[in-house]
Amino acid sequence: EAGVTQSPTHLIKTRGQQATLRCSPISGHTSVYWYQQALGLGLQFLLWYDEGEERNRGNFPPRFSGRQFPNYSSELNVNALELEDSALYLCATRAGGPEDYSGANVLTFGAGSRLTVL
Amino acid sequence: AQKITQTQPGMFVQEKEAVTLDCTYDTSDPSYGLFWYKQPSSGEMIFLIYQGSYDQQNATEGRYSLNFQKARKSANLVISASQLGDSAMYFCAMREPLRSARQLTFGSGTQLTVLP
């Protein structure tokens, strides 16, 4: 079974440009989460999509946006790039539905997309 | 206030020895879940172990065990018989379904280095 796939692996942009990152979930997973991991820091929650809708967003400006497609894949868009947007962007997916504390419904992460803003 | 606190930025352990990575959490919810993830230098987050707030026994998964002390709000990860491949960043995380809409809140991580 294929895991969570993210593309591109690396992306280099300059200030003011736009970046688009993509995530394909594990088959059967309908929820997609995006996290930002700046160098030397922990993971900061960005966005959560479930069944095609944005369910929650973290404390990030509106220039961070995204969407989820009918096949449950997702895009993260970052507009007007700033130097501090340089980070590893991680996508994680899980099956949707009622909360499950059995451990079987954990978040499964992709390998990330490393964005460098020059 | 920090939801998840990992006070050890870096830890060293000798190969084949056991190591404990500390994690304390802060929540007022009666129902929550605690997770540990491993992040090798490749970047991918690998799920290790889970503990539910209502679980009576400490979780174990192979060489990993979670020392859950609910009254102290701590969820330390114990790795037995360390291997060189265990060298990685380790993150503790919590889910509070009534408060954070199912996403995980992560600590700042502990960089573990296993010495030969």
Residue B9 — left, alpha, or beta (φ > 0 → left; ψ -120 to 50 → alpha)? alpha
Beta bridge partners of B114: B13
Which B-chain residues 67-106 have CB contacts (< 8 A) with chain A?
91, 93, 97, 100-106
Work out the number of other CB atoms within 10 angstroms of the CB of residue A16: 10
Query: Tens of pLDDT along A5-30?
Result: 999 999 999 999 999 999 999 998 98
Q: Residue A39 burial by CB count (10 A; 0-12/13-18/19+): exposed, middle or buried?
A: exposed
Query: Tens of pLDDT along B3-18?
Result: 999 999 999 999 999 9
Which B-chain residues 33-52 have CB contacts (< 8 A) with chain A?
33, 35, 37, 42-47, 50, 52
pLDDT band at B65 (very low <50, low <70, confident <90, very high): very high
Q: Where is average pLDDT lowest: A35-39, A68-72, B98-102?
A: B98-102
Query: Tens of pLDDT along B52-64?
Result: 998 889 999 999 9
Contact A114 B106 (CB under 8 A): no
B103 closest CB neighbour out of A45, A88, A102: A45
Q: Where is average pLDDT lowest: A51-60, A85-94, A108-117?
A: A51-60
Q: What is the mean pLDDT of residues B109-113?
A: 96
Closest-CA residue to B39 (of A13, A30, A48, A35):
A35
Contact B44 A56 (CB under 8 A): no
- Chain B contact present for A49, CB below 8 A: no
